[in-house]
Chains A and B, each alone.
Chain A
């Protein structure tokens, strides 16, 4: 389940003819069982790269392979969790989790059992018959995680999945995601703009620069055992990352000021909290 990305590039059209280089010469390798974080300011193309890995977007240049196989289109072997839970409001929690299994033509009984197993894993065993609107934001995101995991994907892709949650809920879900990772040993690719989240969860962190989106530096955080926020080893890496990111954030802020946009983007706000 090695993910190999070679010289991937992507342009976006803006105002008709103007092209913006979203991704430029991205080359990286993610090993099986890695928890990879794609970290960078908003607009650096990290979500675009994740969408390309998911098969929801097509690169303009370069190749992507998973275990040597080229990616063509979306598929259930790459489970995706979006920033918004993207649950289907007309289905119950259980039916949402079963959706992919149903598409794969799996029988009712097996669907039921699997869905329940993963809903229990995310501590929602009692909410199987609820509708999405009856759940809180954190619960919805847990259902989305169960919905992706139930397909037993090779890779779990997560696009800022906790960004819209309050700090308390986010912290709980961090712990749960760490447990899921150690329990299932899945390869996870996690997009975030939050440095402390990246160092808390990831063991391989790719820091992006923006416009064009490039990988500026990557960090490995290979130490065993459960991590907690405020761990001195995490803070050390966090400081290093912040130093790399600072220039980027300032560059983005300056550009946005010049364009007359609101300067306090979510990136600047949330990242500056971890300033040194």
Chain B
């Protein structure tokens, strides 16, 4: 039933788009029809340019995102547990989080040149702070009772972190990772639009340069669909699994 409602809704949207196009309010170059976007999409997949672009972008985001998780979670745990770090590093993280990661691009290009590294750096910066902040919040909200109970059962030191603090903070960490993913995705696109070589952002920019709005819109749709797909396949499942286990759902 839900699927049917969605199909009807999207058919309605595409229909509305087609009608707008037929009314010819705007120049067809500026406002392409759904059909021509579809054609571009098929063409892009057939000649391999879209799959290559998707592959390049996915590789960049995966590398950057995984690095940001590997740094962000330990950073968040440390800031959440060590008072000195909370009072010093904690405030910097909050400040950096508000800064759009694309602002780092000039520096990144200076440091790493116009290369993969620059874009991956932007992706890391984009996801890092929201993951660290959510981890920190999760760690700070671990009920003290869990820690007390664990210490009466002989847990101390690293075991306390791995067996209690990390799993207790996991729901919050997953939320942070989800947020981090969408930030990483945005940073990647911004980086690819401005910087360089292949990738979805580059194909989109090329569409602009060739005044091919069908291509621009086709790439926009691909970007949105990819984001949605990964959210559904990875994060929604992770969240659901945890909610079920903890008895929150």
Chain A residues proximal to chain B, CB less than 8 Å: 54-56, 73-76, 78-80, 82, 84, 86, 88-90, 99-100, 102-104, 131-134, 147-148, 151, 157
B153 engages A76 (CB within 8 Å) = yes
Would you list 20 pairs from A and B whose C-beta atoms are within 8 A, ordered by A residue?
A: A55-B151, A55-B152, A56-B148, A76-B152, A76-B154, A82-B148, A86-B145, A88-B150, A88-B164, A90-B242, A90-B246, A99-B153, A99-B155, A99-B163, A100-B155, A103-B155, A104-B154, A131-B247, A133-B246, A134-B247
A147 engages B153 (CB within 8 Å) = yes
**Residues 140-159 of chain B, each 1 if its beta carbon lies under 8 Å from chain A, else 0:** 00000110111111110001
The answer to the question of B238 belonging to the interface, with a C-beta cut-off of 8 Å to chain A, is: no
A84 engages B145 (CB within 8 Å) = yes
Interface residue from A78, A89, A104, A132 paired with B152 (Cβ < 8 Å): A78
Beyond A82-B145, A84-B145, A103-B159, is A90–B245 a contact (Cβ under 8 Å)?
yes
The answer to the question of B108 belonging to the interface, with a C-beta cut-off of 8 Å to chain A, is: no
The answer to the question of B170 belonging to the interface, with a C-beta cut-off of 8 Å to chain A, is: yes
Interface residue from B145, B154, B167 paired with A100 (Cβ < 8 Å): B154
Residue of B150, B170, B242 most packed against chain A (CB within 10 A): B150
For A91, the closest partner residue in chain B by CB is B167
For B151, the closest partner residue in chain A by CB is A74
Interface residue from B149, B170, B245 paired with A131 (Cβ < 8 Å): B245
Question: For chains A and B in complex, what number of residue pairs have CB atoms within 8 angstroms?
Answer: 69
The answer to the question of B168 belonging to the interface, with a C-beta cut-off of 8 Å to chain A, is: yes
A99 engages B150 (CB within 8 Å) = yes
B152 engages A56 (CB within 8 Å) = yes
Contacts of B151 in A (CB 8 A): 55-56, 73-74
For A77, the closest partner residue in chain B by CB is B154
Contacts of A90 in B (CB 8 A): 167-168, 170, 242, 245-246
Contacts of A76 in B (CB 8 A): 152-154
Interface residue from B148, B152, B155, B170 paired with A79 (Cβ < 8 Å): B152
Cα(A74)–Cα(B160), bound, Å: 13
Cα(A82)–Cα(B159), bound, Å: 21
